[in-house]
Amino acid sequence: MTTPRSASPHGLAETDSPPALQDRAIDNLRFIRETMERAGTFTAVSGSGIVAAGLTGALAFALAGRDAATVRWFACWVSAAVVAAALSGGLTIRKARALGVPVTSGPGRKLLLAFAPALLAGALVTVVLIRHGLMSLVPGTWLLLYGTGVAAGGALSVPVVPVMGVSFILVGGVALLSPASWQPWLMLAGFGGLHILFGACIARRYGG
């Protein structure tokens, strides 16, 4: 005859030892923590979109010429910025929909709100620099403030995004302290090279 297992006052069999209960509790806490972290992080940033922005930057470099003080240079890079934003934003929205991640609420909305002020500041400072004939400072200002926005917004995204932002800040700092002849090449290194490098990393590690 098989002797039935005795049960505790809470209905747990004697085989449910304290270590087993502790392991289950740890697993539950880990699941809760990871769920909360995902809820506070926008994970749908498109690596492919960032790569597309980098390729757009490389094309702008090829078309704009090497003199950052010309209307042609300015027009090419502003046009490239609009195209890059559309490509990156569109691919991010597509990835977010595929993952079921909201873009205009929760972490996505917070990321946009953190990213936008630096861009608005960059636009205003650009107008002031042009009015005072300081076009040579525009490339460094763009790189610096764009990196600031990426770093701020990236704090609400996957870890590699704020690292990308800091990299842009460093390149922008170099651009502000460099001769005018370096400016186009540093724009290529930042808006072209860094976008492609980090975009490929995001696409490989986080998909899409």
CA–CA distance, 83 with 57 (Å, rounded to integer): 10
Domain of residue 161, residue span: 39-206
Token digits for 47? 């690596």
Q: C-alpha angle 67/73/76, rounded to 5°?
A: 155
Digitized pLDDT (tens) for each residue of the chain, 208 residues in all: 455 554 555 554 445 555 666 666 565 545 444 443 444 466 678 899 999 999 999 999 999 988 888 899 999 999 999 999 999 989 988 888 887 877 776 777 787 888 899 999 999 999 999 999 999 999 999 999 999 999 988 887 788 999 999 999 999 999 999 998 999 999 999 999 999 999 999 998 887 7
Q: What is the pLDDT of residue 18?
A: 59
Give the pTM: 0.77
Residue 8 in any domain: the answer is no
Contacts of 37 (CB under 8 A, 6+ apart): none
Q: What is the pLDDT of residue 125?
A: 96
Q: What is the pLDDT of residue 103?
A: 73
Q: What is the pLDDT of residue 122?
A: 94
What do you get for the CA distance between the two ends of the chain, in Å? Answer: 61
Q: What is the pLDDT of residue 184?
A: 93
Residue 34 in any domain: the answer is no
Contacts of 165 (CB under 8 A, 6+ apart): 147, 148, 149, 150, 151, 152, 153, 154
Token digits for 58? 């490389």
Residue 12 in any domain: the answer is no
Contacts of 134 (CB under 8 A, 6+ apart): none
Residue 21 in any domain: the answer is no
Residue 19 in any domain: the answer is no
Residue 1 in any domain: the answer is no
Q: What is the pLDDT of residue 41?
A: 65
Q: Provide the β-strand partners of residue 7.
A: 13
Q: How many structural domains compose the chain?
A: 1
